[in-house]
Chains A and B, each alone.
Chain A
Amino acid sequence: MLEGVGLKKHFHVPGGLVQALDGVSVRVAEGETLGIVGESGSGKTTLARLFLLLDRPTAGSVIFDGKDARTFDRDDLRRYRRSVQAVFQDPYSSLNPRMRVEDIVAEPLPAENGASRAATRERVEEALNLVGLRPESAALYPHEFSGGQRQRIAIARALVTYPKFVFLDEPVSALDVSIRAQILNLLKRLQETLGLAYVMISHDLAATRHLATRLAVMYAGKLVEIGEGEAVYTAPLHPYTEALLSAALPLHPSARRQRIVLSGEVPNPMNPPAGCRFHPRCPRALPQCGSQEPEWREVTPGRITACHLY
């Protein structure tokens, strides 16, 4: 079990304080896929960076198997890094162009423990095989691969340590349309065979729906809604979730339906609105929304939202 409790991340910048993430608690169970959707600046990538221990939270903590990440010793940290891996958006910048594929994929494996070269090679070959790349690929460099194959290399690198949790940060956004389906199907198959848990961060609602068992929606540094994936997609509670789903493009020209087109822009994270951060753009805002911040409330079991309407 991986858990974030009251996570906050504030950045000091010239001219003020950016509240990139402002009090987010979320839990990831083994074997599930938590989709995190939101627009740029909503804090979804910051949240992932905190979970990957790439940034230290301003407040709150990451808890792994009951232990707080702030109290990790060397062994805990090593175990954590093995168990929690990541695949990033752009396989052109996430793979070192001067390293061979075998060295890229082997990099997360700890150098010590007397792991022999042969054993390492075997693990790399196994990982490449899992993602559908030929063993001969190991000797090549990233530039010899297409975008989709590079993303497979990045996935192999994440799997080489036998992780339990894999963070997928926009895993298909940089890929061509005809390649996306290949990678989404691969991720799904890997999850079924290896029992992985995914945290998939994306602004692509359709791709997220394809994988997510639970869905969390973020807006301006806060979670606004979380629940079982299909329930959130079919019956969103929070007006922002509703607008976000309705802004998704139609799949057929006859479905050019009446959309909820939000006016205004995503708020400035240095100066977020008082009360509910969504209220200036909310089509269903109540008088108290501008002054009181809505509480995080469980509306139906497993279905939590922060909105004065509920």
Chain B
Amino acid sequence: MPDSSPLLVVEDLKTYFFTRRGIAKAVDGVSFTLNAGETLALVGESGSGKSVTCLSLVRLVPEHAGKIVGGRILFEGDDLMQQSHAAMRRVRGKQIAMVLQDPMTSLNPALTIGTQVSEVVRLHQKLRGATLRARVVDALGRLRISAPDTRLRQYAHQFSGGMRQRVSSAIALSCAPRLLIADEPTTSLDVTIQAQYLELLKEVQAAAGVAVILVTHDFGIVAANADRVAVMYAGKIVELGSTLQVFDHPSHPYTQALLRCLPDVGKKRHLVEIGGQPPDLARLPPGCPFAPRCPERRPICEEAFPAAVPVESGHVASCWAAQPVSVGSVGRSLPPTSI
């Protein structure tokens, strides 16, 4: 495969949940690409579909209730939607690995850390005995677990929160995956430990050349770690671009509002509110789901969802009001209008 083709191509992914209250369109036509070694942040509020997007990529959407109803997921050229269950098990953990939000619940409290790391390595790399052990020690050491050969005999409760998340990451990275999906990896961590973890993630990622999908609701994490960012709202990507482009020229009114309502540790200013509530996924309005809260709403917004408009090279926004960014302008980054 030539290097220029992307590692992951997601086309028009749709994952719906069938509930008593109707069909909840958790992911509704999501498309993006990811290059090898790149970090893409999926940012959005709860219920925006970022976690379900990730579960769909590895086909772990809870069965019966949820189903991937359409779209393609091309990973290194292979369509994951066409793979058998057995083939998917070989992909998960080996080529695509995941780190989840809360390491206290994602690690097994009754098994030693060593057992949990070696499980993955044994399964995917078929290593045994001393070579297996050496590999496990190496995996823990790379994530800066001190004294890994004694630590691997301990249990999750004997580790601090930050160390547990590093152990989870060691498990995820132990088989040298091409893609790491990190779903809110620092939400349960303290501020200084979060900073430690994000720095380490960047380092390890650069050394191993692994691509990362970083799920977060925090624009600060995006600013700190992501190369590109996809902003999600009600199951759709409403804006996608490089991190600098999106911060400098946010082109969807939702992105603009989110960036304006963040309190700033650097200075005190009035916070601009976003009125209303995120929509009910089972009762989405026709047209753009953000329209009821949008300050730039037009009649057409309530009729049809807008196509993605290119506003800069590699930067698109799905909004009827989106305009190409003119060269040298400061864009629409901070218009004085209030919401």
**One of B99-107, B260-268, B299-307 at the interface:** B260-268
Chain A positions 176-213 with a Cβ under 8 Å from a chain B Cβ = 176-182, 184-185, 203-207, 209-210
A162 at the interface (CB under 8 A from B): no
Once the chains bind, are B196 and A261 in contact (CB under 8 Å)? yes
* Contact call B264/A249, Cβ cutoff below 8 A: no
Answer yes or no: B190 CB below 8 A from chain A CBs.
yes
Q: Quick check: is B296 within 8 A (CB to CB) of the other chain?
A: no
Q: Is A181 in contact with B271, judged by CB distance below 8 angstroms?
A: yes
Question: Are A252 and B262 within 8 A (Cβ)?
Answer: no
Scan A245-271; emit 1 where CB is below 8 A from any B CB, else 0: 111111111111001011101100000
Q: Say whether B193 faces chain A, with CB atoms less than 8 Å apart.
A: yes
Assess the A210–B268 pair: CB atoms within 8 A. yes
Nearest B residue (CB) for A186: B273
B residues within 8 A CB of A180?
261, 263
- Which of B195, B223, B257 is A252 in contact with, Cβ under 8 Å? B223
Known A-B contacts A176-B45, A252-B247, A253-B223; A184 and B271 likewise in contact (beta carbons under 8 Å): yes
Most chain B beta-carbon neighbours within 10 Å: one of A203, A204, A252: A252
Number of interface residues of A (CB under 8 A): 43
Interface size for chain B: under 10, 10 to 19, 20 to 34, or 35 or more residues? 35 or more
Q: Are A176 and B278 in contact (CB under 8 A)?
A: yes
| Interface residue ranges of B252-279 to A (CB < 8 Å) | 257-258, 261-266, 268, 270-275, 277-278
Interface 0/1 of B209-249, CB less than 8 Å to A:
00000000111111110100000000000000001100100
CB pair B273–A185 under 8 Å, yes or no, is yes
Q: Which residues of A contact B191 (CB under 8 A)?
A: 39, 203, 205, 244, 247-248
User: Does A64 belong to the interface (CB within 8 Å)?
Assistant: no
Given the contacts A178-B258, A210-B268, A39 and B192 also touching, CB distance less than 8 Å: yes
Please tell me if A146 contacts chain B, counting CB pairs below 8 Å.
yes
Q: Is the interface of A mostly helix, strand, loop or mixed?
A: helix
- A265 lies within 8 A of B278 (CB): no
Q: Is A88 an interface residue (CB 8 A)?
A: no
Chain A positions within 8 Å of B194 at CB level: 247, 249
Given contacts A39-B192, A248-B265, A250-B223, contact A148 B277 (CB under 8 A): yes
| Contacting pair B45 A178 (CB below 8 A) | yes
B188-210 near A? 1/0 per residue, CB < 8 Å:
00111111100100000000000
- In whole Å, how far is B237's beta carbon from the nearest beta carbon of chain A? 17
Partner of A177 from the list B45, B161, B275 (CB cut-off 8 Å) is B45
Cα–Cα distance between A253 and B247 once the two chains are bound (Å):
8
Indicate with 1 or 0, residue by residue over B38-49, a CB within 8 angstroms of chain A CB atoms.
000000011000
Query: CB distance A251 to B261 under 8 Å?
Result: no
Whether, in the assembled complex, B163 has its beta carbon less than 8 Å from a beta carbon of chain A, the answer is yes
CB distance from B143 to the nearest CB of A (A): 14
Q: Is A129 an interface residue (CB 8 A)?
A: no
Given A148-B277, A249-B221, A265 and B163 contact (CB-CB distance below 8 Å):
yes
**For residue B260, which residue of chain A has the nearest CB?**
A181
Tell whether, in the assembled complex, residue A249 and residue B224 are in contact, meaning their CB atoms are under 8 Å apart.
yes
Tell me the A254-293 residues at the B interface (CB within 8 Å).
Answer: 254-256, 259, 261-263, 265-266
Q: A146-B277, A210-B268, A251-B265 are in contact. List 18 more A-B contacts (CB 8 A).
A: A39-B192, A176-B46, A176-B217, A177-B262, A179-B277, A181-B262, A182-B273, A203-B190, A248-B191, A249-B223, A250-B223, A251-B262, A252-B223, A252-B247, A253-B223, A253-B244, A259-B199, A261-B196
Instruction: Kindly list the 10 A-B residue pairs having the minimum CB-CB distance in the complex, ordered from nearest.
Output: A249-B220, A181-B261, A247-B195, A39-B190, A181-B271, A206-B263, A206-B265, A176-B45, A178-B274, A248-B265
A and B contact pairs by CB, cutoff 8 A, 16 listed: A39-B191, A176-B45, A176-B278, A177-B218, A177-B262, A178-B274, A179-B274, A181-B274, A185-B273, A205-B191, A243-B192, A244-B191, A245-B265, A248-B191, A263-B196, A265-B162
